[in-house]
């Protein structure tokens, strides 16, 4: 039955699961306060997939070839009892009895208190978003009063419990935090943390994206290479989103995620499940496929599986490759905070 491939022969390998649409920060490139202010109506509890529902669907996806499950949000650590879900997912195995990878992307604000329980629950990979070390720049990017130290404490706690290598994602926005690139590199070099710089993306329709605000991967690498010479490193696997670079002096590794200037759609193996049970075949999709209704309507696994196979088989998304061809692009795009990055 698998691997299930789409119209561009890309296999279904990764499932990103959003477990909440809520967040305790308002990062300007993801959840700008103007759009997600105090009157914004978030999903109600009954609308969210329960942990048993998520696990049942995840088991079904693993049966179709998915090898990595990544939990995201909003902020996934806001979802009460998320460790219980991780325990359930960590028990899933592929057809050769190998456990699937269970990863999580967090803003790190709740991580220091939860690192232990996440590790004990079976989490295998952790990514923390951190866009600056300077308090002022961090405030500008996150539009929140959270202290940078809280996120750094979370990263240290995750490393201490063995959730290594911790990856740190930094979205770079021109005129706001490109000055943080070298301070972040200096802070995390030699620490075992893998720092990844992300080109500012036109996700959703609320973050005011302009191409002029994009600091390109090439600019980022040149800036780092001048201070700390780099050499390219082969990908860990086909479809790895970040391009890997290592410090020539052995100081560790960094990555760049260049969706704007070096599109990687040709290797995209990711499907996204929203917290209310809709499937999205691309981060820049404009509509999702409702799986919650048939699931709650009592449909059996075989029929649910056929729905997923049919959806993926007709998939042709390659938004980033088409980004510069305005005629080929959807006008309304789903918000990243709803389906996870």
Using the rule CB under 6 A, which residue among 12, 123, 282, 311 binds ligand SF4?
282
Q: Cα 13 from chain centroid? A: 14
Distance CA 330, CA 285 (A): 8
What are the tokens at 139?
């405030």
Which one of residues 128, 320, 337, 338 is an interface residue with ligand SF4 (CB under 6 A)? 320
Where do runs of H (alpha helix) occur along 211-262?
A: 217-227
Q: Which of 200, 245, 247, 319 binds ligand SF4 (CB under 6 A)?
A: 319
- Of 245, 284, 312, 338, the one binding ligand SF4 by CB under 6 A: 284
Burial of 106 (0-12, 13-18, 19+ CB in 10 A): buried
Using CB atoms within 10 Å of the CB of residue 312, give its burial: 0 to 12 exposed, 13 to 18 middle, 19+ buried: buried
Residue 318 binds ligand SF4, judged by CB under 6 A: yes
Whole-number minimum distance, CB 103 to ligand SF4, in Å? 16
Q: Minimum Å distance from CB 73 to ligand SF4? A: 17
Strand order in the sheet with 289-290: 230-233, 243-247, 253-257, 194-199, 167-172, 125-129, 101-106, 68-72, 14-18, 270-273, 278-280, 289-290
How many whole angstroms from its chain centre is CA 299?
A: 29
Q: By CB under 6 A, is residue 274 in contact with ligand SF4?
A: no
Stretch that binds ligand SF4, among 73-81, 88-96, 232-240, 277-285 (CB under 6 A): 277-285
User: Which range binds ligand SF4 by CB under 6 A, 96-104, 147-155, 219-227, 311-319?
Assistant: 311-319
Q: Which is nearer to ligand SF4, 114 or 315 (CB)?
A: 315
| 209 makes contact with ligand SF4 (CB under 6 A) | no
Q: Which residues make up the interface to ligand SF4 (CB under 6 A)?
A: 264-265, 268, 270, 282-284, 317-320
């Amino acid at each position: 039955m698998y691997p299930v491939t789409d119209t561009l022969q890309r296999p279904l390998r990764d499932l990103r699961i959003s477990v909440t649409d809520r967040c305790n920060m308002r990062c300007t490139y993801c959840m700008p306060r103007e759009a997600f202010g105090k009157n914004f109506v978030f999903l109600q509890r009954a609308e969210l997939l329960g942990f048993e529902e998520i696990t049942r669907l995840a088991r079904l996806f693993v049966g179709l070839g998915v090898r990595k499950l990544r939990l995201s949000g909003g902020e996934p650590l806001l979802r009460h009892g998320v460790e219980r879900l991780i325990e359930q997912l960590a028990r899933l195995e592929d057809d050769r009895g190998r456990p699937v990878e269970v990863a999580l992307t967090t803003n790190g604000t709740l991580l220091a208190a939860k690192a232990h329980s996440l590790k004990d629950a079976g989490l295998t990979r952790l990514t923390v978003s951190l866009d600056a070390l300077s308090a002022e720049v961090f405030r500008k990017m996150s539009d929140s009063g959270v202290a940078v130290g809280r996120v750094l404490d979370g990263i240290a706690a995750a490393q201490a419990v063995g959730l290594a290598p911790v990856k740190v994602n930094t979205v770079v926005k021109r005129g706001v935090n490109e000055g943080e690139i070298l301070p972040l590199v200096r802070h995390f070099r030699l620490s075992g943390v893998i720092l990844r710089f992300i080109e500012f993306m036109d996700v959703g329709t609320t973050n005011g994206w302009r191409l002029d605000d994009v600091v390109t991967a090439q600019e980022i690498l040149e800036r780092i290479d001048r201070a700390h010479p780099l050499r390219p490193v082969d990908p860990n696997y086909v479809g790895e989103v970040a391009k890997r670079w290592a410090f020539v002096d052995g100081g560790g590794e960094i990555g760049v995620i260049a969706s704007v200037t070096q599109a990687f759609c040709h290797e995209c193996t990711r499907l996204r499940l929203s917290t209310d049970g809709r499937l999205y075949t691309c981060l820049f999709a404009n509509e999702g496929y409702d799986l919650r209704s048939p699931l709650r309507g009592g449909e059996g696994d075989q029929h649910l599986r056929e729905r997923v196979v049919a959806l993926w088989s007709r998939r042709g998304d390659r938004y980033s490759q088409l980004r510069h061809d305005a005629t080929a692009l959807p006008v309304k795009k789903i918000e990243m905070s709803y389906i996870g990055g």
